[in-house]
Structure 1
Amino acid sequence: MSTWRDNLRTIEPYVPGEQPNLPDMVKLNTNENPYPPSPKVVETLKNFDCDSLRLYPDPNSQVLADALAKCYGLQSDQVFLGVGSDDVLAIAFMTFFNSKKPILFPDITYSFYDVWAELFQIPYERPALDDHFDLIPEDYYKENGGVVIANPNAPTGVLQSLDFLRDVIEHNRDVVVIIDEAYADFSGSSALELTKEYDNVLIVQTYSKSRSLAGMRIGYAIGNPELIRAMNDVRYSYNSYPMTRLSVALGAAALEDEAYFRETVAKVIETREWTKKELKRLGFSFRDSQTNFIFATHESVPAQTIFDVLREKHIFVRHFGQKRIENYLRISIGTQAEMERFIRETEQIIAQNR
């Protein structure tokens, strides 16, 4: 009998948010930007030389690396590029977490972290957030093989201060500390300055949220050149052409339109703040989100009930069955009109289930 199944690597995979395709839907379940990419991106796409697609892309994605370096006042060798921040984080896990000591990340955070740890056979521990969804710094003082902190955290939306991050880094100078900033642009705060203070800090960001380019899959990391070289060595060992010519061109174009970037981020924040007030009026409670989503629980109506009825109405939010957060909903911020519809329908659900 064949025994090939005995050699399969079995793992519980990451489950992404549902991707429905309905004409009347309000999609608030995957933290996408509700606004289109910059007009400069659209113009670049219209004028893109499609004949160039017959050629392999630049392995270094130099045009985009240079553009990001210029944007942040860095050298190009401080920038690593990948196919979305998921790709960047996966390569960082493979590159830096190779000791027998467990890496540390919270029990409630981006649920891909433990998947990568399992996939790459990295030991890990998940210190529990406190009852207010804050990290407890002392949990990260013990010996470990590395630290990963999403800041602001997902799905909670909580932002830890720079002083908090410095404290954790100071207690972990012998390992790499990754700060995942997928949502930092909506918080008005970034830990990028810490890469100048510490040689073991890697900041990871993405175009998927604030740059409205989730469909292009562009992510990047910033750190000292030694960290970046090590990540490139790993990346080139299995995929030497990760970024397409089109993604490089559109990624660089997006950086040229700072005004549009600031405008759309401000619109998302304005609608987020309006939605917070409305959710409180309806009896929801939540930490003060610093992201493009709100992680909320209702005082009397179960999250599962609200999720199910909204889904029937083609309004999609995210519900996690994970312990401690099973009665919470993660609600992405859409346009003002989309959030007004969400609030109207949610108000009806609550009235019918009191």
Structure 2
Amino acid sequence: MSRFWSQVVRDLTPYVPGEQPKIANLIKLNTNENPFPPSPRVLAAIRMELGDDAARLRLYPDPNADLLKMAVAKRHAVTPQQVFLGNGSDEVLAHIFMALLKHDAPILFPDITYSFYPVYCGLYGVEYRTAPLSEDFSINPADYCGPANGGIIFPNPNAPTGRLLGLAAIEKILQANPDSVVVVDEAYVDFGGETAIGLVNRYDNLLVVHTLSKSRSLAGLRVGFAIGHPALIEALERVKNSFNSYPLDRLAIVGAVAAMEDEGYFEQCCRAVIATRDTLTSELQGLGFDVLPSAANFIFACHPQRDAAELAKALRERSIIVRHFKLPRIDQFLRITVGTDAECQALTQALAGILA
């Protein structure tokens, strides 16, 4: 701590990202990255943008990234005026908290959820309340249909549980909160859920957030977007242009466009991840683990006879890392990213040895 710190900085509890260790021959199943590379079209588009001498890099990118807005709008059957782009979905979410969730009343989100939400509340001075997940770690829509609030936000599927909320339940929440923005954070929806984007033209208080880091394998390019009513998008644009007018670089824009346009490759990768997830779930259950139903590219599992922290430590000693959260109610769970078939097989073999 320094005497030069502002009071805001002194009061912050920053988000702790998943570990990115530099260890040889590591099986990395802790940060929900896609096990497959991005579409081959992405690299081709980046090479074309660079050209022979990369002279274009001396020029600023399009501040509105119109090519990408049009690609996203086409993919999701909306207009470009309904699309907002950012440097990863975390930046999109940060602008949402400032532009749409900072009101007099507290906002509402689950007690077990993406841990960046309370960080943003601390950064921007947003009051919040949490609604406890049910005993089975599902979101109860009724918890979001009663008290007045300054906005609602939740991931779907939820993180780190992986549990999915159906569209009928989301509509129930929207209808009960016509004067509040409802933000559905769909970072993982492509691995088994149905997107709420189809509802944005019926509910002007709905904002849906996506990332290209997971299902499009572009975590290294940092591209995210939100889709909603043009009035919500205008609020985000006002904040963005008061913060950073050029959030996406030239290579990220063309790479993201190429990824959005290669629908066949996208669907192929999602199917492969889902198949591996189902196999991994079955094998872990065979080892005695309790595994929550997941619609994401990770699973949330606990073993009734073994401590989660000790299991994570034992896996690390075998060069396999998973995510362990030292938080109430979930401190005996491990969040395990769905890797390749070979990586998941190595994980289950290691766990079998540890349990034996």
Q: What is the identity, as a one-letter code, of the residue corresponding to 2:117?
A: Y
- 1:121-136 mapped onto 2 (5 Å cutoff): 121-136=125-140
Q: Is structure 2 residue 114 aligned with structure 1 residue 113?
A: no
| Alignment partner of 1:267 is 2:272 | yes
Amino acid at match of 1:33: N
Counterparts in 2 of 1:132 and 1:7: CA distance versus 1, 3 Å: closer
CA distance in 2, matches of 1:155, 1:256: 29
Q: Which residue of 2 aligns with 1:14?
A: 15
| Map of 1:226 onto structure 2 | 231
- Aligned-pair CA distance for 1:136: 2.0
- Mapping 1:293-304, distance limit 5 Å: 293-304=298-309
Q: 1:283 aligns with which of 281, 288, 300?
A: 288
Equivalent positions of 1:1-354 (< 5 A) are 4-5=4-5, 7=7, 9-10=9-10, 11-49=12-50, 50-140=54-144, 141-351=146-356
- C-alpha distance in 1, partners of 2:84/2:47? 27
Cα deviation per residue 1:252-304 (whole Å; 9 max; x = unaligned)? Answer: 01112111111111110010000010010000012210100000000211111
Shift of 1:48: 2.4
Q: Quote how far apart the aligned CAs of 1:249 are.
A: 0.5
Tell me the CA shift for residue 199 of structure 1. Answer: 0.3
Moved more, 149-158 or 44-53: 44-53
Could you tell me how far 1:5 is from its partner in structure 2? 4.2
Give the direction of change, closer, same or farther, for the CA distance of 1:244–1:5 in structure 2 (3 Å limit): closer
Unaligned runs of 5+ in 1: none
The residue type paired with residue 56 of structure 1 is Y
TM-score (norm 1): 0.97
Deviations 1:65-97 (A, max 9, x none): 011111111110110000000000010010012
Runs of 4+ in 1 over 3 A off after TM superposition: 2-8
TM-score (norm 2): 0.96
Say if 2:200 and 2:229, in contact at 8 Å, map to a contact too: yes
SS in 1 for 2:315: helix
Structure 1 residue 7, shift from structure 2 partner: 4.3
Give the residue type in structure 2 aligned to 1:221: A
Offset of residue 43 of structure 1: 1.3
Query: Matches of 1:5 and 1:275 in 2, distance apart?
Result: 47
Give CA-to-partner distance per residue, 1:167-209, whole Å, 9 cap, x none. Answer: 1111111010000000000014111111111001000000000
User: One-letter code of the match for 1:177?
Assistant: V
* Matches of 1:154 and 1:173, distance apart in 2: 25
Give the letter for the 1:193 counterpart: G
Q: Indicate the SS of the match to 1:220.
A: strand
Deviation at 1:134, TM superposition (A): 1.2
Q: Structure 2 CA distance, aligned partners of 1:72 and 1:137? A: 26
Q: Give the conservation status (yes or no) of the 8 Å contact 2:8–2:123.
A: no
| Partner secondary structure for residue 197 of structure 2 | coil
RMSD: 1.2
Assess, with a 3 A threshold, how the Cα gap between structure 1 residues 8 and 99 changes in structure 2: closer, same or farther: closer
- Between 218-227 and 186-195, the greater mean CA deviation after superposition: 186-195
SS of alignment partner, residue 160 of structure 2 = coil
Give 1:180's aligned amino acid. D
Q: Provide the rounded CA distance (Å) in 1 between the counterparts of 2:325 and 2:3.
A: 36
Instruction: Return closer, same or farther for 1:45/1:302 CA change in 2, 3 Å cut-off.
Output: same
Determine helix, strand or coil for the equivalent of 1:48: helix
- SS of the equivalent of 1:273 reads helix
Residue type of the alignment partner of 1:198: Y
Question: How far off its partner does 1:6 sit?
Answer: 6.2
SS across alignment from 1:198:
coil
What SS class does the counterpart of residue 216 from structure 1 fall into? coil
